[in-house]
Structure formats: C-alpha cells, structure tokens
Amino acid sequence: MKQQRRPMTPLRLRMEHDLQLRNYAPKTIERYVECVAAFAKHFHTSPDRLGPEHIRAYQHYLAHQRQVSWSLFNQTVCALRFFYQITLGQPEMIQHIPYPRRQRKLPTVLSHADVAALLVAPRSLKHRAILTTFYDTGVRLGELCQLRLRDLDSDRGVIRIHQGKGHRDRQVMLSAQLLAVLRHYWKAYQPPEWLFPGRWRDRPITPEAVYDICREAGEAARLSVRVTPHLLRHTFATHLLEAGVDLRRIQLLLGHRSLSSTSLYLHVATSTFHAIPSPLARLQAVLGKDAES
C-alpha cells in the first residue's frame, strides 16, 4: 500500500515555497523539510516556537545519542539555518546553529584487477553496461539514472549531463570503448528513451536498483569491499590521476565546484608517491659515493 503524504501545514508549505523560489533541487527540498519536521517532532511542538536551547539540545541528541552520520547532521544544520534565516526571518539565530567539522576520510579505491573482475562478473549485459559507464565516466548515481539516449553524442565523443549537482550542466567523455559496450547493450535491449530503463521501459532505473546491481556484482567478483556507485566514481578519478591526467581536467569531469574537493584524490593516487624521491635511496647513494672515494 502506498504511504500517503502527511498534510501540509502553512509553515511547512511556506518553507517549501522558499526553497523552490531559490531553485533548490526537489530532493534537497524534501530532505530539508523532513529535517525541520523531525526537529519539531522531537520536542512535540511547532518549530517556530523553538529557540537556541532547543537547537543546542537537538544537535547534542543527534551527535551523541543517535550518533547520526556527518552527512545527516550537516543536512540538519543546513535545513535549520535556512528555516530560521529565510522562512522565519530570524538571521540572528544562525550563530546558534554552527556547521560541524567534517572528518576527512580517504576514499576507498579499486585496483585495475578488481575493476576488470567487476566488469565481467554480471551475466546481464545491461548490468555490465551500467558498471562500465560508472567506471569510464565518473558520473554520479542520479546522473546515470537520468541519462537518455539523446544525451550520447557519438560524433563528438561526449555524454551530456543535464542539471547535475548544483543545477549545473556539463559534459563527460564517451570513449570508443564505452561506446562499443553501449551499442552492444542497445542492440540487445533497444531502450526507447532512457539509456537504462527500470522495470517499466518508459521510466528510468531507480537508484535502489542500481545500488543492488553494484552490490551483487561486487559479491560475484568476490571483492573484499562493498561496491557502490560512489566507489566507482572514486576509482575513476584516482585511475585518471595515476594515468597522468591533470587535476583541473578531473575536476571538470567530476563536476566539482571546488578544486579542493578533487585534490582529495592526490592522497590515494599511487603516482603521487611514486613521483617523490626516497630520502633513504638518496642517503644510500651519498653513502655509497663516500665509500668509493
């Protein structure tokens, strides 16, 4: 049975309208509104009646009792800051809702051998095409699900990404190797509009289905890590960096707004360390020269 959406209160509706006027993505609007609703539900009262002490207590509850992820905690902070500053018109409340410090963790990356095993693991040609597209383009999960056949420009060798993260269009490369895989897949499935349709051919594949495809392929390939779309995106960027592609080009391909986000891959690319001379090797060379003299 399909779950009915809760009735819209005037305050909830006003926040949705404020977010829409500022061109927030539909999923972001939904999550922000739900974060504020959860904040109100925690105290069993309307959020416009809650003040700094309630905010502080709720942040402590999320961090220490529920121990939510950094992503959810930060999303809640962003939602509350928007709600108080824009919807309620109380910018003075912002000082009571600080952003959390993010733990910087290095991304997990597959080896070339792992990728090779992963791409041949699924029996389904469609699943292979999905995994190959992730690895050879670095697109995000939502971007892959929304790809249409008309987004592929085989003459120019590019794939057009419409309104990716941050409402930005960009292009990613369509290599001859990936094009061959996609053509083979298209001949077998002949999707009418969406590059990767879901259960119904007139609708795109769902993110949940893609997650299952990645997980099952990783298990079939007997990899030691859980395979996700973002893992393949990390692997794409790192392998490009190790192949000598400059960081700025990788930034453009990934659609990162800031180069600092892309620079994270410098910490995991083996080429970064192989290019650094070993102090021990230099010391041994110096000692060897002294011994000869």
Distance CA 226, CA 14 (A): 41
> Residue 118: how many CB atoms within 10 A of its CB?
26
Q: Is residue 167 among the annotated active site residues? A: no
Pick the catalytic residue: 32, 84, 185, 265? 265
Query: Comparing C-alpha atoms, which of 255, 234, 229, 231 is closest to residue 127?
Result: 229
Length of the chain: 293
Q: Look up residue 85 and give its two tokens.
A: 């500053």
Over its C-alpha atoms, the chain yields an Rg (Å, rounded) of 24
Task: Assign 206 to helix, strand or coil.
Answer: coil
Q: Is residue 230 among the annotated active site residues? A: yes
Distance CA 87, CA 81 (A): 10
Pick the catalytic residue: 127, 233, 234, 239? 233
Pick the catalytic residue: 81, 127, 239, 256? 256
Bridge partner list, 174: none
> Residue 254: how many CB atoms within 10 A of its CB?
23
Q: Is residue 140 among the annotated active site residues? A: yes
Given a contact cutoff of 8 angstroms between Cβ atoms, the answer to whether 76 and 112 are in contact is no
Query: Comparing C-alpha atoms, which of 262, 247, 257, 34 is closest to residue 164?
Result: 257
Pick the catalytic residue: 24, 165, 189, 211? 165
Pick the catalytic residue: 128, 140, 170, 234? 140
The CA-based dihedral angle spanning residues 187, 189, 191, 192, taken in that order and rounded to the nearest 10 degrees: 70
Task: Assign 67 to helix, strand or coil.
Answer: coil
Distance CA 178, CA 289 (A): 52
Q: Is residue 105 among the annotated active site residues? A: no
Q: Which residues are catalytic?
A: 140, 165, 230, 233, 256, 265
